[in-house]
Every structure is written in C-alpha cells, then in structure tokens.
C-alpha cells in the first residue's frame, strides 16, 4: 500500500556505526541452494527483506521447510532443511516472486529440471522485465518453459523435465542468467559451459563449489558437470550487503560533517565498483580488517566528509557497480565537474527504468543530469535543494533519493519511501540514528 511521502530534513551531522543487513544476492542463493542440498543448514544474518522473503515463500510452496528467527535490529537466522533435488514438490499455488528478479530467474533454472509443473509470477515491475534471457537458453537445454508476449515476459510456466548441458554465450553480463543456467546445468546430462561479456557477481559459483559441485573456470568460461550426488548443506554467515553500504558511503562522502563506520561489509571484487569509483572521485574511504566470511571477502569500511570530482565510468567496469548507479549519480550531482556514466543500458530493465528515473528525480532536487540511451551525464552543482520526489516503487531509487535529501538544502518529501524494505528494511532507522549521532 502506498504510504504518505516521507519527510527528510538534512541533519547537522552524519556520525556513527551502521551494521548493514545481510547481502541480498548471497541470501537468495544460500536459501535456494540449501533448499536442494542433502540436509539441514543454518544461515546467519540472512537478509529478512521483501525480496528474500519472496524466495523463502516460493521454497515453502515447493515443499521446503524453514524457519526464520528475527533478532533485534536487522539480524536474523534462517534454518532450512534440504531434502535434495528430489525433495522439491509441485506447488499447489502460483509461485510469486513479487519484486524480485533474482527469485524468478534462479527458480526458473532450478524448476526447469524438476519433474512437475510450476508457474511463476511477480509484481507489475517484474512482469515487465525481460525473461527471454533465461527462457531461450533453458529451452536450448531442453526445458519446456513459456512466457507471455512471445516468451519474453512473466508469468512463466514451466513443465520440468530432462535437460542437456549446453554451451551458452550470454549477450549480457548477468549473474541471474548465469545462476539460472548453473542451477539447470546441475540437473542436466553432460557439461554446461557459460561465457559472459564481463564477470558478473560470482556468489553462486563460490557457494556451489563449497557445497561440492564440480565447477571450474577456463579462461572466460565456466564449466559445470552435472551433480553425481546432492549438494552438501552449507552453514554460513552472510556478509553485510555492499549494495546497502553504498548509500552510506555516498552520504558520508557528501555530508560536510560525517564519519560513518560500516563493519563486516562484503567486498567481493565483482561488487565493489562503487568503492573504486568513489575513491577515484576523491572520497575519503578506508578499508580495513579484510577477512573471509562464508567463503566471501569481507572488510570494515569507514567514510568521512570529502570533496569529490567528476569521473568517467564505462565499458566492462560498469558490471561491478550496476546496482549502485543511482547512488553514484547522487555523488556525481555534488561533485566538481562532469561525471559520465556509459554502457549502462541494462539499467532500463531493472526494478524501474533507472536511467530515466534517476535523471528525472535528481533534477527535481536541482541536479544537472541528462539522460542518454545507454547512460547519463551529470554536471556537479554547488548544492541540491529539497523538493518532492518519488522512488517510483524502486528500492534503490528510494535510498538514493533519501541520501540526496539528506545532503540537500531544505526539506524533501519522498513518495514511495517504503520501497527501501525490498532490500534494506532498517534503512530509515539507520538514517535517523546517523543523523542524531
Ligand atoms: C543480482 C544480479 C544483478 C543485480 C541484481 C541482483 C543477483 O542482476 O542487478 O540486483 O542477485 O544475481 P542481473 O543478473 O540481471 O544483471
């Protein structure tokens, strides 16, 4: 339900420590892979956000039992009992991925090989996002999978059955496509090899290896052998979500009186493009205590008030910051000079058209931003000014606009602020705490 706009006033300082919630991508994968592993697993710091809850609800409908214990603040522990691939059952209801592309695409790959019928739908945004990118290669593997509008859109109907391994060269660098095909490949006859134009996030690969899958890398390609036995369950602790931390990195760099400490954030190099971009812009960000948690690199981050300058981001580098472009655009709006972000056409098919939405909404706050077919150009201004703006139901837009409002002059009224809960349920509380720190 649409709530009244949230008022954001710039706080005098932004200071304190924020424990960002568990990583969204890793939480989805930990649930899905353990759901088909041979035995129980416990996942600490599972992200209890709308997207991951959609995955859990779909898994329950498929016969997987789990329980989620929610501690104080954002912490939660997921206990889940995998009964092997053969433990999944036909769902009596339509599976609802809600706003979550990861849920829909990964489950499509998994269910393509299960011997029953599944129907997966989603909310209005997800039903308009491209599904041909998973439907077509899954069909090539022998799957009986269909979608609306010439097999390009959800709802998807899947009659699971035997699959064969393929060689697939994806035209887009997409971890969701890659993961869908890996999940199908586990169940196929023969090897599956995958190539993508740039390395997308590799959480699925890391987790599959840790659970005993035979997955190797050859140059740019991944090679997966079908499972000989079910995956071994994997207990893990989910690192803090870099994509959540991203908003505090930008807020801390832009606010004139800020110091924000972010302990335990995932710094998988396939995800940290924004960190590199902000540092190149001149942000004062320190990375310390690098370690490994749950098979993923983790570190403590600290950001302080900084003076930023514009940069150019393009080419393969954009894959490492694709979800962070709305946050980066806010940083660019107040950086000295021009920031050019090219080769991000993928943003048009995210939870909203993020090129259009970012440009239009930031302009309402006084930014000088221009839309291009595959990117955006932003000329830094001296100050943003608070104004009414709208997340358009997109969680990353909501949080980016909140950061913009926090460093703008005057008050901002943000419609659709509640969308933040799709990936960061405690976002508003954390913002309030930092602002009164
Ligand atoms: C995700 C992959 C990315 C990312 C999304 C989460 C994942 O999407 O934008 O927020 O968890 O695999 P694509 O794989 O479509 O690029």
Q: Give me ligand 1 centre to Cα 175, in Å.
A: 6
Q: What is the mean pLDDT of residues 22-41?
A: 98
Give the closest residue to 106 by CA, choosing from 4, 237, 38, 204.
204
Pocket test for ligand 1, best of 105, 182, 201, 344 (most atoms within 8 A of CB): 201
- 74-106 residue pLDDT tens: 679 999 999 999 999 999 999 999 999 999 999
174 lines ligand 1 (CB under 6 A): yes
The predicted pLDDT at position 219 comes to 78
Q: pLDDT-based confidence at 160, cuts 50/70/90?
A: very high
Are 357 and 415 in contact, with CB atoms under 8 Å apart? no
- Map tokens 């930990």 to a residue: 30
Check pLDDT > 90 for residue 1.
Answer: no
Mutate to test the pocket of ligand 1, among 27, 106, 174, 246 (most ligand atoms within 8 A of CB): 174
Report the residue among 29, 97, 200 best suited for mutation to probe ligand 1: largest number of ligand atoms under 8 A from its CB.
200
pTM greater than 0.95: yes
- E strands in 57-173: 65-70, 76-83, 95-96, 117-121, 144-147, 153-159, 163-164, 167-169
Q: Whose CA is nearest to atom 11 of ligand 1?
A: 25
| Mean pLDDT for the stretch of residues 185-214 | 97
**Per-residue pLDDT at 71 exceeds 80:** no
321-378 confidence digits (pLDDT tens): 999 999 999 999 999 999 999 999 999 999 999 999 999 999 999 999 999 999 999 9
Q: Please work out whether the CB of residue 415 comes within 6 Å of at least one atom of ligand 1.
A: no
Going by alpha carbons, the residue nearest to atom 3 of ligand 1 is: 175
Instruction: Tell whether ligand 1 has an atom less than 6 A from the beta carbon of residue 213.
Output: no
pLDDT value at position 407? Answer: 98
Which alpha helices (DSSP H) does 271-317 contain, by range? 273-281
Q: What is the mean pLDDT of residues 209-215?
A: 98
Q: Calculate mean pLDDT across residues 121-141.
A: 98
Check if the beta carbon of residue 311 is closer than 8 Å to that of residue 339. Answer: yes
* 134 CA distance to ligand 1 middle (Å): 13
Residue 418: what pLDDT?
97
Whether the CB of 102 sits within 6 Å of ligand 1: yes
> Which token pair is 268?
């998988």
Give dist(CA 266, CA 325) in Å, integer.
18
Q: What is the distance between the alpha carbons of residues 118 and 111, in angstroms, rounded to a whole number?
A: 7
Q: Is 230 one of the annotated active-site residues of the chain?
A: no
Residue 113 confidence class, pLDDT cut points 50, 70, 90: very high
Distance from C-alpha of 269 to C-alpha of 35, rounded to nearest angstrom: 27
Sequence-distant (6+) residues with CB within 8 A of 231 are 33, 36, 37, 38, 82, 186, 208, 211, 212, 213
Query: Is a pLDDT exceeding 90 seen at residue 220?
Result: no
3-class secondary structure per residue, 154-218: EEEEEECCCEECCEEECCCCCHHHHHHHHHHHCCEECCEEEECCCCCCCHHHHHHHHCCCCEEEE
- Rounded mean pLDDT of 209-235? 96
Cβ atoms 98, 127 nearer than 8 A: no
Of residues 410, 326, 324, the one with CA closest to residue 362: 326
- Tens of pLDDT, residues 246-282: 999 999 999 999 999 999 999 999 999 999 999 999 9
406 lines ligand 1 (CB under 6 A): no
Counting from 1 in the atom list of ligand 1, the atom nearest the Cα of 319 is 16
Give the pairing type, strands 38-44 and 76-83: antiparallel
Quote the pLDDT of residue 72.
65
* pLDDT value at residue 354: 98
Of 51, 323, 390, 394, the active-site residue reads 323
Tokens of 101: 């592309």
- Chain centre to alpha carbon of residue 258: 26
Report the share of the chain in percent with pLDDT over 90.
Answer: 97
pLDDT of residue 343: 98
pLDDT of the residue at 73 = 60
**C-alpha–C-alpha distance, residues 281 and 288, integer Å:** 20
359 lines ligand 1 (CB under 6 A): no
Q: Is the pLDDT reported for residue 294 higher than 90?
A: no
Mean pLDDT of 303-324: 98
Asked whether 90 and 116 are in contact (CB, 8 A), the reply is yes
Read off the DSSP letter of residue 268: -
């Amino acid at each position: 339900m649409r709530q009244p706009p949230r008022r954001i006033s710039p706080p005098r300082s932004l200071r304190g420590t924020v424990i960002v919630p568990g990583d969204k991508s890793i939480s989805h994968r930990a649930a899905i892979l353990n759901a088909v592993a041979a035995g129980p697993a416990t996942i600490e710091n599972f992200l209890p956000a709308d997207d991951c809850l959609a995955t859990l609800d779909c898994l329950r409908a498929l016969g997987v039992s789990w329980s989620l214990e929610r501690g104080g603040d954002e912490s939660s522990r997921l206990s889940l009992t995998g009964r092997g691939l053969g433990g999944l059952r036909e769902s009596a209801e339509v599976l609802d991925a809600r706003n979550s592309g990861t849920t829909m695409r990964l489950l499509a790959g998994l269910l393509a090989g299960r011997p029953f019928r599944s129907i997966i739908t989603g909310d209005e945004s997800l039903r308009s996002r491209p599904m041909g990118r998973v439907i077509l290669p899954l069909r090539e593997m022998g799957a009986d999978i269909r979608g609306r509008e010439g097999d390009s859109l959800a709802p998807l109907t899947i009659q699971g059955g035997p699959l064969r391994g393929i060689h697939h060269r994806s035209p887009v660098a997409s971890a969701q496509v890659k993961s869908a095909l890996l999940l199908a490949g586990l169940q196929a006859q023969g090897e599956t090899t995958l190539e993508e134009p740039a390395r997308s996030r590799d959480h699925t690969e890391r987790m599959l290896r840790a659970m005993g899958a035979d997955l190797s890398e050859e140059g740019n390609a991944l090679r997966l052998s079908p499972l000989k036995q079910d995956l071994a369950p994997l207990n893990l602790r989910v690192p803090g979500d870099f994509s959540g931390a991203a908003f505090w990195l930008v807020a801390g760099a832009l606010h004139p009186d800020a110091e924000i400490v972010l302990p335990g954030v995932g710094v998988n190099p396939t995800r940290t493009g924004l960190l590199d971009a902000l540092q190149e812009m001149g942000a004062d960000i320190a990375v310390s205590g690098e370690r490994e948690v749950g098979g993923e690199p983790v570190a403590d981050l600290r950001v302080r008030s900084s003076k930023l300058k514009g940069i150019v981001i393009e080419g393969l580098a954009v894959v490492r910051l694709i979800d962070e472009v709305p946050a980066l655009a806010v940083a660019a709006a107040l950086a000295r000079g021009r920031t050019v972000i090219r080769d991000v056409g993928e943003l048009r098919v995210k939870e909203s058209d993020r090129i259009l939405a970012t440009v239009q909404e930031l302009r309402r706050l006084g930014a000088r931003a221009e839309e291009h077919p595959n990117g955006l150009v932003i000329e830094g201004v001296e100050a943003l000014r608070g104004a009414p703006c709208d997340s358009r139901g997109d969680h990353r837009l909501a949080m980016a606009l909140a950061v913009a409002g926090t460093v703008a002059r005057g008050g901002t009224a943000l419609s659709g602020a509640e969308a933040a809960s799709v990936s960061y349920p405690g976002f508003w509380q954390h913002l309030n705490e930092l602002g009164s720190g």
